[in-house]
Chain A
Amino acid sequence: MELISAELKKTMEECKRIARDHGLRFSDETLEYVTTNEDMIKLSPKAMIPTLYDYWVHDVYVLQDKGKYDLYPHNPYETVVNTRPPLSFYNDNNPDWLNVMIFYHVIAHIDFFQNNVFFSKTWHDDFCGRALAHANVIKELRYEKGRWVDYVIEFARGMDNLVDYAGDLARPLETPSQTIAEAKFAYFFDEYLQEVLKVTTFRYIEELNRYNEFAARHDPEAARLLFLAYVDQKYVDFALKFERRNKNRQRRPGDIMEYVMMHSPKLNKPEHDWMKHIIQIVRETSLYFQPQIRTKILNEGWASYWHEKLFLADPRLRTHEIEFSKVNAGVVSLSRVGLNPYAVGLRLFKYLEAKADRGMLSYEFERIRDLEARRAYDARTGQGRQFIFDVRTYHSDATAINQFIDQDFVNEFNLFVVGKRINKTRTAWEYYIKSRKAEDYKKKMLDALYHPPHIIVDHEITQNTGTLYLIHAFEGKELVREYIANTMLGIEFLWGNKVILETHEIDSSSFEDMNREDLEKYFQEAEKVKLKWQKVRYTMQERKLSREVMGPAEGLPS
């Protein structure tokens, strides 16, 4: 793997300048590498972060991908990594003219990474560097603890899709606003005297005066320290109370990983402290990649929008028009069957730009009830470009689909939901247009989005029984049953005690009771057939899993 040639780098810099002229905003520095397909295969299990920690499962993925590559050689054009500076990788099979188009694509990705608010937690440091530090920690630990490091990585990764990304995003960066002395001082007067000791006003003023005496003779900082020394002497439990109150003030853990780190009796033993480091590393790594998964459609759409727009206007396109059309169509064409994030995302940006240009994303427009008037509406606001930049800044896939997929969009691009059914007379699977309603299409898209199960810890039961009690929120979806055993085994290992999971599963008698008609209906339109759900409790104790049915589900999800 090496840097792109000086000449190509010059082209990249030019592309960056042009992109800036069109309003894209991104850091000055970028690094571009030429890679072979084999390099890409080696990097992909590490999410293209070259410095990510080593883990044997990554090696197996590499072997697996090599096997697949033998069967089905593929040529990914590029990959971009959200680091500081951003790294991007270019396939060594790309011809130079194609790289120009890909540069625009990559630049738009970088712009997305650096401006979309869902990435805000990744703006402040370079993950490549952080990953290197992590890798070093793990390397050192491996030296000391051997294979047990890999077990802890494995078990931590078993929970890493449940990280509280939303909570983490909502939390401002934690910068302390005061020194510890300031905090102690404030605590003494604001809480300790009044709420803990409940002193009389007289006593309160007496202490205040004592401080004023110090303040009269010294500068405020020194006065505070001297006063606190006096407090520590006079009120023996003050330091302890202060500490306890701080601990209680710590925010509650947002996900299972944090919970286990904070409350696991096993991990809280000093000799197991190293396990927490690993869990923390795995958790941070997962958090880092969360925004990427949640903005796939917009990010790819945005990159496709800009590569198309900028490359079409680029003189370097000349003589390559046909090849470009072919490559571009391969990337952004809507397929007859299937969802292509590049294609849908690109259409969405184009659609919104056109609509906003005519002022159609407004209350005035929505108030018009006459179809003809709606069609003809044009307030010539010219807000299109600004609007799509806002979408790039403030939306994730879920919010954008929820807000912007409407009937006009579905009609304009001839979208539909495809159904699949058996045609018995022709003994064939039939694909048919099941629905052209925006509502159905939107639901289909939302269903296809990344959506890990929501599993929380019941703190009360856990505290009272010592058993980690997990509750999987019921959304009409089962967990993958085959994976439950090993996942819980890992959690039990880290928790150091029994683990229980409460979830819902389809009662298998649902199918057995079906008559032929029901079954056929189920094959055609599964969502219209009511299934019987039951509440189920899995218990993992001493590496043995047991399952018990607790009865029918209480209340179905809407």
Chain B
Amino acid sequence: MDERMHRPLAALDDQLRRDDLTPEQRRSLERDLRGTVAQIQAIESGKGLYEYTDEPFFPNAVVPTVHLQTLDELLERDKQRERDGFPKKVILGKIASHGGKKAVIVPTVTEEKFYHDNRPKMPGQGGDEGGSGEGEEGEVIGESPIKEEQQGGGQGAGDQDGGESHELDDSRAFEIGKALTEKFNLPNIQQKGKKAALFRYTYELTDINRKFGQFLDKKRSLKNILKTNLLLGTFDPDDVTFDRVVVSPVDLVYRIVSPEKEYESQALVFFIRDYSGSMYGDPTEVVLSQHVLIYSWLLYQYQERVEKRFILHDTEAREVDNFVSYYRLNNGGGTNIASAYKLVNKIVETEDLAKDYNIYIFQGTDGDDWDSEGKEALPEIEKMLTYVNRMGITVVSRSPGSNNTYIEKYLDKSGLLKKAPHLIKMTALSETSRNQDDLIKSIRQLVE
């Protein structure tokens, strides 16, 4: 298409791109555009209407400049919903995890509709699928351990851990923790006097110095040199030669060792989760959602200086070293809560953690315990209460608040909740609690 014909179109297009048009103006411009196109089409008969250079015909066929709503805007919208008499919709801390490498927390919204429920009706029930390949009917074609339901599918080999962290993305968690504190009025922790901010110096090659130093920063130096030479006219970007380039000592940039003040974590939080058979499915989801929010809140409270340890237990307890494992592992089997308590006490003792950290323990359970009288568990709890800042127990059950699970019963009987109300709290959640407000209410009960 030749330039001359293109000009009126370009002008129309410019007009259409303005955002201050009234709808009428826009419509009329679009009519003009269509007319012009038709005209050109008539002139250039024999050619197709659209050529690949005709982008201006489709001023709309570009990625919309999505004005993404910030978390603050979303939460403000949610508050407004409540004022308008509609339930809230944004869920803050949903965990997304793919392939088991990392987890991030993202805000989510569910668009509710009438859908058929295709989930298995009972925990542990396997869904059928299609498949292909050799084998007789009834033949087992594979298995995956119940112990550790790692990523399914056959992609295992070769996909080694590439040194990626299996962690939560702390910057997002921090943002969510901030929102929890500011928008949902979770309490601010009174900083304990006994542990002032700990820091230590490390020495790193991070400071920058001109003219001398331990380590030449080549990229930065080259940039400076080019800048200088451009000014001097001794370097022409269109005809690159280095014959006339001069190097001034001032342009050389070095890195030198400098002491860096590094803050040590102030808080240590143990997350304990029951991963026995009875926790499968919804209860686990609820506990995890709550723990992610608690972690986010602590992260904000301690300005990211939080360390975390993850304990899973059924009849035995084990520590896993990252959030993703904590999030993903499922197990079958029975339940012995004391095993987890013992492990926590052991860790605190052997690593001598109590003197350096504000220690928090949050536990998620369905309340089931083979140690139904708490004979083993209660002494361990008492030991914990000597060093924790707060221990929070969340019981997820079918009928929350009815106090009829073992752990609720023996804790009640022990009187610990009344004796040390500032150290240990318990809250109950329904196993179908997907509602953010319920979660936050329960967290408030645990941390206030």
- Pair A453/B96 contact, Cβ less than 8 Å: no
Q: Which residues of A contact B20 (CB under 8 A)?
A: none
Q: Counting CB contacts under 8 A, is A394 at the interface? A: no
Which residues of A lie under 8 Å from residue B120 when comparing CB positions?
526
Main secondary structure of the interface of B (DSSP, over half): loop
A144 to chain B, nearest CB (A): 12
- List B contacts of A132 (CB < 8 A): 60
Which residue of A has the minimal Cβ distance to B142?
A431
Give the chain A neighbours of B90 by CB distance below 8 A: 60
* Contact call B106/A429, Cβ cutoff below 8 A: no
| A422 to B333 CA separation, bound complex (whole angstroms) | 13
Known: A161-B114, A429-B144, A433-B137. A338 touches B63 (CB 8 A): no
Are A414 and B133 in contact, with the CB atoms below 8 A?
yes
Asked if B98 is at the interface of the complex by the 8 Å CB criterion, the answer is: yes
B108-136 contacts to A (CB < 8 Å)? 108-118, 120-122, 124-136
CA distance A338 to B132 in the complex (A): 8
Say yes or no: A482 contacts B432, CB within 8 Å. Answer: yes
Contact residues, A504-526 vs B (CB, 8 A): 506, 511, 519, 522-523, 526
Contact with B along A412-440 (1 / 0, CB 8 A): 01111111111100111111111110000
Instruction: Report chain B residues within 8 Å CB of A194.
Output: none
Report the nearest A residue to B74, measured CB to CB: A60
Q: Would you call B116 and A480 a contact (CB within 8 A)? A: yes
Within 8 A of B (CB), among A34-78: 35, 39, 42-43, 46, 50-51, 54, 56-64, 66-68, 70-72
When the two chains form their complex, are residues A427 and B147 in contact, meaning their CB atoms are under 8 A apart? Answer: yes
Is A292 part of the binding interface, using a Cβ–Cβ cutoff of 8 Å? no
B52–A32 touching, CB < 8 Å: yes
**Interface 1/0s, chain B 86-112, versus A by CB < 8 A?**
110010001011110111111111111
Contact of A71 among B64, B102, B145 (CB under 8 A): B102
Tell me, yes or no, whether A478 is within 8 Å of chain B by CB: yes
Q: In this complex, what residue of B is CB-closest to A46?
A: B64
A335 vs B90: C-alpha distance in the bound complex, in angstroms?
A: 36
Which of B67, B126, B172, B432 has the most chain A CB atoms inside 10 A of its CB? B126
Partner of B107, one of A64, A70, A434, A455: A64
Q: How far is the CA of A417 from the CA of B138 in the complex (A)?
A: 10
Residues of B within 8 A of A445 (CB): 130
Assess the B114–A419 pair: CB atoms within 8 A.
Answer: no
Chain B residues, Cβ within 8 Å of A334: 132-133
Q: Among residues 153 to 177 in chain B, which have CB atoms less than 8 Å away from a CB atom of chain A?
A: 153-154, 169, 172
Chain A residues in 8 Å Cβ range of B137: 416, 433-436
Tell whether A414 pairs with B66 under 8 Å between CB atoms, given A29-B50, A429-B144. no
Chain A residues, Cβ within 8 Å of B121: 506, 511, 526, 531
Comparing A200-208, A317-325, A483-491, the segment that makes contact with chain B is: A483-491
Q: Would B52 and A31 count as touching, CB distance under 8 A?
A: yes
Known contacts A3-B52, A140-B23, A487-B112; is-contact A416 B132 (Cβ 8 Å) = yes
Q: Which of A151, A160, A420, A422 has the most CB of B within 10 A?
A: A420
Contact status of A60 and B69, CB under 8 A, knowing A72-B99, A429-B126, A480-B117 = yes
Residue of A nearest to B95 (CB): A67
Do A335 and B146 have beta carbons less than 8 Å apart?
Answer: no
Given the known inter-chain contacts A338-B130, A339-B129, A427-B147, please indicate yes or no for A71 contacting B101, CB distance below 8 A.
yes
For A477, the chain B residues whose CB sits under 8 A away are 116-118
- Asked whether B141 is an interface residue with its Cβ less than 8 Å from the other chain, the reply is yes
Q: Is the CB of B50 within 8 A of A85?
A: yes
Closest to A421 in B: B126
Once the chains bind, are A430 and B113 in contact (CB under 8 Å)?
Answer: no
Given A59-B68, A338-B130, A421-B126, also A136-B111 (CB < 8 A): no
Residues of B within 8 A of A432 (CB): 138-141
Q: Judge whether B138 and A433 touch: CB under 8 Å.
A: yes
* Chain B residues within 8 Å of A519, by CB: 122
Contact of B130 among A4, A128, A157, A415 (CB under 8 A): A415
The A-B contact count (CB < 8 A) is 282
Nearest CB of chain A from residue B12's CB, rounded to whole Å: 16
Q: A360 on the interface (CB 8 Å rule)? A: no
Q: Assess A50 versus B63: contact at CB under 8 Å? Given A429-B146, A472-B114, A482-B432.
A: yes
B69 and A56 contacting across the interface, CB-CB below 8 Å: yes
Decide if B128 touches A31 in the complex (CB within 8 Å): no
Task: Known contacts A335-B131, A487-B113; decide if A418 and B141 are in contact (CB<8 Å).
Answer: yes
- Known contacts A428-B145, A431-B142: does B125 contact A526 (CB below 8 Å)? yes
Q: Is B48 an interface residue (CB 8 A)?
A: yes
Answer whether residue B332 sits at the interface, using C-beta atoms and an 8 A cutoff: yes
Q: Are B115 and A427 in contact (CB under 8 A)?
A: no
**Cα-based distance from A453 to B114 in the complex (angstroms):** 7
Across the interface, do A63 and B68 meet the contact criterion of CB distance under 8 Å?
yes
B-side contacts of A429, CB under 8 Å? 126, 143-146, 149
- Whether A28 is near chain B, meaning CB under 8 Å from some CB there, is yes
Partner of B132, one of A32, A336, A423, A511: A336
Note all chain B residues with C-beta closer than 8 A to A434. Answer: 128, 137-138
Q: Which of A464-492 contact B (CB under 8 A)?
A: 472, 475, 477-487, 489
- Tell me if B115 and A430 are in contact (CB < 8 A): no
- B125 cross-chain contacts in A, Cβ below 8 A: 522-523, 526
Cα–Cα distance between A478 and B115 once the two chains are bound (Å): 8
Chain B proximity of A2: nearest CB distance (Å)? 8
CA distance A543 to B368 in the complex (A): 36
**A337 located at the interface, meaning its Cβ lies under 8 Å from any Cβ of chain B in the complex:** yes
Chain B, residues 212-237, CB within 8 Å of chain A (1/0): the string is 00000000000000000000000000
Q: Which of A60, A62, A451 has the most CB of B within 10 A?
A: A60
Report if A159 contacts B (CB, 8 A).
Answer: yes
Determine how close the nearest CB of chain A comes to the CB of B128; give it in whole angstroms.
Answer: 6
Q: Would B48 and A162 count as touching, CB distance under 8 A?
A: no
B434 located at the interface, meaning its Cβ lies under 8 Å from any Cβ of chain A in the complex: yes
Contact with B along A298-321 (1 / 0, CB 8 A): 000000000000000000000000
Return chain A residues, CB-CB under 8 Å to B43. none
Which residues of chain B from 38 to 55 have a CB within 8 Å of any chain A CB? 48-50, 52-53, 55
Minimal beta-carbon separation of B183 from chain A (angstroms) = 16
How far apart are B176's CB and chain A's nearest CB, in angstroms?
12
A483 touches B128 (CB 8 A): no
Is B248 at the interface (CB under 8 A from chain A)?
A: no
Among B26, B64, B99, the residue within 8 A (CB) of A136 is B26
Interface centre among B114, B135, B141 (most CB of A within 10 A): B114
A:156-183 near B, CB below 8 Å: 157-162
- Say how far B135's CB is from chain A's closest CB, in angstroms: 5
B117 touches A420 (CB 8 A): no
Q: A270 interface residue, CB < 8 Å from B?
A: no
Q: Quick check: B116 and A71 within 8 Å, CB to CB?
A: no
A147 at the binding interface (Cβ < 8 Å): yes
Contact A487 B48 (CB under 8 A): no
**Does B196 interact with chain A (Cβ within 8 Å)?**
no
Q: Which residues of B contact A418 (CB under 8 A)?
A: 128-131, 141
Q: Is the CB of A478 within 8 A of B116?
A: yes
Whether, in the assembled complex, B242 has its beta carbon less than 8 Å from a beta carbon of chain A, the answer is no
Query: Which residue in chain B gives the minimum CB-CB distance to A491?
Result: B114
Residues of B within 8 A of A28 (CB): 48
Shortest CB-to-CB span from B169 to chain A, Å, is 7
With a cutoff of 8 Å between Cβ atoms, the chain B residues found around residue A413 in the complex are 132
- Asked if B2 is an interface residue, CB under 8 A from chain A, the answer is no
Closest A residue, CB atoms, query B62: A1
A-B contact pairs, 18 of them (CB 8 A): A6-B52, A62-B68, A67-B104, A67-B169, A68-B104, A71-B101, A72-B99, A128-B58, A136-B23, A336-B133, A337-B130, A416-B132, A418-B130, A427-B332, A431-B143, A433-B135, A434-B138, A444-B130
Give me 4 other A-B pairs in contact (C-beta within 8 A), A64-B107, A336-B131, A431-B141 excluded: A4-B52, A428-B147, A434-B128, A543-B86
List the interface of chain B (C-beta within 8 A of A): 23, 26, 48-50, 52-53, 55, 58, 60-64, 66-69, 74, 77, 80, 84-87, 90, 94, 96-99, 101-118, 120-122, 124-147, 149, 153-154, 169, 172, 332, 432, 434
CB-CB nearest 4 A-B residue pairs: A420-B126, A72-B98, A67-B106, A483-B112
